[in-house]
A = this chain, B = another copy of it.
Amino acid sequence: MKKQQRINYPASKKIYIKGKIHDIQVGMRSVTLLDTITMENGKKQVEPNNPVILYDTSGAYSNPDIPIDITKGLVRLRQEWIEKRNDTELLPSFSSNYCKERLSDSSLNKIRFPLTNLPRKAKSGNAITQMYYACQGIITPEMEYVAIRENQQNEQLGIETHITPEFVRQEIASGKAIIPANINHPEAEPMIIGTNFLVKINTNIGNSSLMSGIDEEVEKAIWSCKWGGDTLMDLSTGEHIHETREWIIRNTPVPVGTVPLYQTLEKLNGRITDLNWEIYRDTLIEQCEQGVDYFTIHAGLLRSHLPLLKNRTTGIVSRGGSIIANWMTQHQKENLFYTHFEDICLLLKQYDVAVSLGDGLRPGCIADANDAGQFAELSVLGELTKIAWKHHVQVLIEGPGHVPMHKIRPNMDEQLKHCHGAPFYTLGPLTTDIAPGYDHITSAIGAAQIARYGTAMICYVTPKEHLSLPDKEDVRTGVIAYKIAAHAADLAKGHPGAQVRDNALSKARFDFRWKDQFNLSLDPEKALEYYRTGRLGDESGHCTMCGPHFCAMKLTKEMNDCALTE
């Protein structure tokens, strides 16, 4: 790996908030602000501004006191918590055939992550999931962690909040929220996905067979965390998937998801016909033991749905969906993920891997939105949810795709109707098809709205969607577009404390505290860069847009005393 990775946020320090139930420390970012300075009757008045405490996805990378070494991986934050529960055991070796094969292949040594942590698994096959504990009435350290994390500075500011550790437990127990937390990914900081919590965003990375390598993927993972990605899906389809993923998981402080089918097909050199339960199961075990936190599984697309697609404009646009549809067609058999769904749950519950029920029939264009195929599959996803919950496997429901604005609410309502409150996790949706090159925007418009109506996590779309694979700048742009959508939804939902940051930034704007404005923004570097392109003179007193004469905020200040007290 080429370099030390570090994340610096301006005027920010890492702070840790202690738990009250458990011996935990929740990392947050505290942004220090300048004083507000006003003149009153010729006298300078100084009013200090409290620091703003922000939700922080950057983990140890933004703490200069913690040494970072990519070849060693992050500190295993949750290891002690997991051990203390005493319901799991370290295995003597990896269980999947594939992992054994890769470990014994010495030609891979030069690209392999250099440390091997043996995998952990439930003792005697029991569920050891957060949902299981929640149903037992147990508040885990993970649950307290997310409760603190979600509250930002509410306690300090006296903002009332419903989000207590006990509330978290109830939400997890009911299936309305999940904490993706594979016991083999103890490096990840707990986070919660549910409609009654902050809206989360997922970013996708992945080396397709055409482009990019391990270095770049790890760098992208950290980059995504820097800008605020809450979870990360590794959608690699190229060579060395196994090794790349190991590097990513060991160095990523957020939950990691995958679509295990992709790797399974790599193992089969792309021969869909050869797909079978045994090789898929081996892949699930391989990834469970590596530490993947959630799996997208396209178990809801049934043979009976295929005729519903006859009149679609863009057919199936989900890779996983199209693969399993082809397999079903070739073998004239029902979807093997559906028929083996209970087997899958029996496996996942032993590692606490959440299942993200894939929407293989998500609409790929406006014309196909909310059609019979999409909703038929959604209804099966609801059925599968019940099965997963029976095994205390945590569940996400995946959603579209391309949906015009007037069909967003009906789509959300359909999910609520069929899926028993399991959190919805959507890709966008894109609200028009006509803007390739700008689909981070077409989809942020849809994502903000569906999140407002209850979607718990939105999967980002980059400007390169439909066109090419995203590079680092595209990832940044996509993440920020989605942080905007998520935050706009948090505001609209009245999430406790969400508006604190807006208020602080706007006060800074009105005070001409430019640096505070930038430091509080989602992308301080970009804001500063744009600001500098327009600067000719000093750094205060008016903004570059209006020029010195007609700055509205300056004029407001000038008349403030006399006018507003009339």
Interface residues of A (CB under 8 A from B): 208-211, 237-238, 262, 265, 270, 272, 303, 306-307, 309-310, 313-319, 321-323, 325-326, 328-330, 364-367, 402, 404-406, 431-438, 440-442, 444-446, 448-449, 452, 463-469, 471, 480-481, 483-485, 487-489, 491-494, 499, 501-503, 505-507, 509-510, 517-518, 520-523, 526-527, 529-531, 533-536, 543-553, 555-560, 562-566
Please name all residues of chain B whose beta carbon is closer than 8 Å to the beta carbon of A315 when the two chains form the complex: 510, 552-553, 556-557, 560
A525 to chain B, nearest CB (A): 9
Residue among B237, B366, B510 making CB contact with A549, cutoff 8 Å = B237
A499-B367, A503-B365 known; A550-B484 Cβ under 8 A: no
8 nearest CB pairs, A to B: A468-B534, A315-B556, A365-B506, A405-B492, A322-B555, A437-B526, A322-B552, A431-B488
Q: Is the CB of B405 within 8 A of A548?
A: no
A163 to B42, CA, bound (A): 62
A308 — nearest CB in chain B belongs to which residue? B564
Please name all residues of chain B whose beta carbon is closer than 8 Å to the beta carbon of A445 when the two chains form the complex: 444-445, 448-449, 484-485, 488
A-B contact pairs, 22 of them (CB 8 A): A208-B544, A262-B550, A270-B550, A315-B552, A316-B556, A319-B550, A321-B552, A322-B550, A322-B556, A328-B563, A329-B563, A431-B488, A433-B502, A433-B509, A435-B480, A435-B523, A437-B529, A441-B480, A446-B488, A467-B543, A468-B531, A468-B545
A19 to B311, CA, bound (A): 37
Q: Is the CB of B491 within 8 A of A404?
A: yes
Q: Is the CB of A270 within 8 A of B549?
A: yes
Residue among B329, B506, B545 making CB contact with A364, cutoff 8 Å = B506
User: Which DSSP category, helix, strand, loop or mixed, fits chain A's interface?
Assistant: helix
A315 — nearest CB in chain B belongs to which residue? B556
A545 to chain B, nearest CB (A): 6
Residue among B322, B558, B565 making CB contact with A310, cutoff 8 Å = B565
Residue among B238, B402, B481, B555 making CB contact with A316, cutoff 8 Å = B555
Residue among B310, B485, B488, B545 making CB contact with A466, cutoff 8 Å = B545
Please name all residues of chain B whose beta carbon is closer than 8 Å to the beta carbon of A550 when the two chains form the complex: 237, 262, 265, 270, 319, 322-323
A557 — nearest CB in chain B belongs to which residue? B315
A449 to chain B, nearest CB (A): 7
A196 to chain B, nearest CB (A): 16
Q: Is the CB of A509 within 8 A of B365?
A: yes
A538 to chain B, nearest CB (A): 12
A158 to chain B, nearest CB (A): 17
Please name all residues of chain B whose beta carbon is closer than 8 Å to the beta carbon of A491 when the two chains form the complex: 366, 404-406, 431-432
A329 to B561, CA, bound (A): 10
A442-B488, A484-B445 known; A501-B434 Cβ under 8 A: yes
Please name all residues of chain B whose beta carbon is closer than 8 Å to the beta carbon of A534 when the two chains form the complex: 210-211, 464, 467-469
Please name all residues of chain B whose beta carbon is closer than 8 Å to the beta carbon of A210 when the two chains form the complex: 534, 536, 544, 547
Please name all residues of chain B whose beta carbon is closer than 8 Å to the beta carbon of A559 when the two chains form the complex: 322, 325-326, 329-330
Please name all residues of chain B whose beta carbon is closer than 8 Å to the beta carbon of A533 when the two chains form the complex: 464, 468, 471
A132 to chain B, nearest CB (A): 34
A327 — nearest CB in chain B belongs to which residue? B559
A552 — nearest CB in chain B belongs to which residue? B322
A492-B404, A545-B466 known; A521-B484 Cβ under 8 A: no
A520 to B466, CA, bound (A): 14
Please name all residues of chain B whose beta carbon is closer than 8 Å to the beta carbon of A563 when the two chains form the complex: 306, 325-326, 328-329
Residue among B270, B322, B433, B562 making CB contact with A329, cutoff 8 Å = B562
Q: Is the CB of B405 within 8 A of A502?
A: no
A316 — nearest CB in chain B belongs to which residue? B556
A562 — nearest CB in chain B belongs to which residue? B329
A487 to B313, CA, bound (A): 19
A559 to B303, CA, bound (A): 12
Q: Is the CB of A502 within 8 A of B553?
A: no
A552 to B489, CA, bound (A): 31
Residue among B367, B432, B517, B565 making CB contact with A488, cutoff 8 Å = B432
Q: Is the CB of A365 within 8 A of B307?
A: no
Residue among B209, B307, B564 making CB contact with A548, cutoff 8 Å = B209
A318 — nearest CB in chain B belongs to which residue? B552
Q: Is the CB of A436 within 8 A of B527?
A: yes
Q: Is the CB of B503 within 8 A of A307?
A: no
Please name all residues of chain B whose beta carbon is closer than 8 Å to the beta carbon of A463 when the two chains form the complex: 530
